[in-house]
Amino acid sequence: MKYQKLDEKYIWHPFTHLKYQNKNIVVTKAKGVYLYTEDGRKILDAIGSWWVNVHGHTHPYIANKIQQQLNKMEHCIFSGFTHPPAIELAHKLSQIVPIKHPKVFYSDNGSTAVEVGIKMALQYFYNQGLVHKNKIIAFKNSYHGDTFGGMSVAERNVFNLPFKKKLFKTYFIDVPNAKNISFVRQQLIKYLNKEDVAAFIFEPLVQGAAGMTMYEAKYLDELIHICKQYKALTIADEVFTGFGKTGKLFASEYLKNKPDIICLSKGLTGGFLPLGVSICNQEVYNAFVDLDKTKTFYHGHSFTANPLMCTAALANIELIEKTDFLDKIKQIEKWHKQFVQTICSHPLVKDVRYKGIILAIEIKTKDKTHYLNNMSEMIETFFLQKNILLRPLGNVLYLVPPVIIQENELNTIYSAIKQFLQYLSTSKFS
């Protein structure tokens, strides 16, 4: 266990309670839906690493493409210079994203993809002399990453509490449902009437970090329509929902009214390498085409459009197109549906929801549903003992498996969930 000791000595891990942390599990190999550990365990990955993995770990098609690119070029400055993987990827993305005549702006993770999306929207108005249009509308319970822009447009909660005073002001509206839609409409219009709104940002259909909470496309469609009437831009943060999570390649495909900007990352490279893109429509782009140099979008990263990352993303999309990817997701959704019927009336299940490859089960506890709910550690430990990686969001246990998962592997997870509910029923927790 040489690595575990060194890890403990030298590394500070993210989202980790330093006082309570157990020893980190050292994974030395990953293949398909399995992780292989230093101490000889084989762990079934039920959450696609960090919602990033699409075709299973270390898929040979993507790995080979990256290897070939490695021998050609590892990095390329991206201002004044360009390269085939970035061009081919942008071309490919332009054929599949639900935005007409898109322009692709590269960055290198989900938070920066969102950051760029917000900055594009703000500068779009700034460049037109509409400097007062500088507020963003967002949903309550939203999560958009850990940089300051992303935190500012997210729910004020434990993720950003120490920085609260440094975050810019955002207007928050409720997530719509059948009961509150007219109220949410009023909230939105109230803010739009202030005439200082640049954009409305949202996680379409599923709020991932909030606990995989889901809402219907028709309500979001209505809100986007209103934004368009008021000439506010709309930003779909598809960092989580992109690349098949909800059953279509992008959740925005469920919408009649398309967003002006789409932010992508996570599944973009099939989970191989970090890459972010913020894709805008021609109208947004045009606001930056000006002889006045102050209207330039002065944003970039050293690894912007890195050729290895772009190659991985291209290979990921090629694999999606070559395989029965969307049919497989439909099949997974059917399996989820069948399983849900067997547990939905369990007294310890507060709510259960599914869409595409996502399945979320909210466990009833004495505390409210919350990221810091103590049930979290209990769930993680229980499933790890069964060699299943299932990292919950508080008392919400969820699956986002790689799309290549087989029926028997899902059945292993489903049966472990039933055992967990049984275990809870007989323990003090219930």
Binding residues for ligand PLP, rule: CB under 6 A, are: 109-111, 114, 143-145, 203, 208-209, 237, 239-240, 265
Minimum separation from the CB atom of position 213 to ligand PLP (A) = 12
- Which lies closer to ligand PLP via its Cβ, residue 192 or residue 224? 224
| Min CB(139)–ligand PLP separation in Å | 11
Q: Hey, what are 142's tokens?
A: 């939203």
Shorter beta-carbon distance to ligand PLP: residue 69 or 111: 111
Smallest separation, CB 318 to ligand PLP (Å): 22
Largest CA distance in the chain: 71
Answer whether 375's CB lies under 8 Å from 398's CB: no
Minimum distance from residue 209 beta carbon to ligand PLP (Å): 5
Nearer to ligand PLP, 226 or 268 (CB): 268
CA distance linking residue 323 with residue 250, whole number of Å: 17
> What's the min distance (Å) between Cβ of 272 and ligand PLP?
14
Quick check: 314 and 273 in contact, CB under 8 A? no
Q: Rounded distance, CA 332 to CA 40, Å?
A: 29
Could you tell me if 179 and 221 are in contact, meaning their C-beta atoms sit under 8 angstroms apart?
A: no
What are the backbone angles phi and psi of residue 378, rounded to the nearest 5°?
Answer: -60, -45
**Residue 200 Cβ vs ligand PLP, minimum distance, rounded to whole Å:** 15
Spatial separation of the C-alpha atoms in residues 156 and 307, rounded to whole Å: 36
Q: Based on CB atoms, which residue is closest to ligand PLP, 51 or 125? A: 51
Tell me how far, at minimum, the Cβ of 154 lies from ligand PLP, in Å: 9
- The residue whose Cβ lies closest to ligand PLP is 110
Distance of closest approach, residue 172 Cβ to ligand PLP, in angstroms: 16
137 φψ region: left (φ > 0), alpha (ψ -120 to 50), beta (else)? beta
CA neighbor of 214 nearest in space, from 240, 187, 191: 240
What secondary structure does DSSP assign to 207-257, as a single string?
ETTTTSEE--HHHHHHHHHHHHHTT-EEEEE-TTTTTTTTSSSSGGGG-SS
The 3-class secondary structure across 153-210, one letter per residue, is: CCCCCCCCHHHHHHCCCEEEECCCCCCCHHHHHHHHHHHHCCCCEEEEEECCCEECCC
- Give the residue with the Cβ less far from ligand PLP, 147 or 331: 147
**Which residue, 62 or 239, is less far from ligand PLP as judged by CB?**
239
H-state helical runs in 11-161: 48-51, 60-70, 84-96, 110-126, 148-152
Cβ closest to ligand PLP, residue 97 vs residue 192: 97
Q: Which residue lies nearer to ligand PLP by CB, 143 or 191?
A: 143
Could you tell me the two tokens for 9? 């000595």
Closer Cβ to ligand PLP, 109 or 304, answer by number: 109
Helix (H) or strand (E) holding 421: helix 407-426
Beta pairing class for 233-237 and 261-264: parallel
Q: Give, for 42, the enclosing helix (H) or strand (E).
A: strand 42-45
CB of 274 to ligand PLP, least distance (A): 7
If the CB atoms of residues 260 and 409 are measured against ligand PLP, the closer one turns out to be: 260
Close Cβ partners of 426 (under 8 Å, ≥ 6 residues apart): none
State the nearest-atom distance from the C-beta of 237 to ligand PLP, in Å: 5
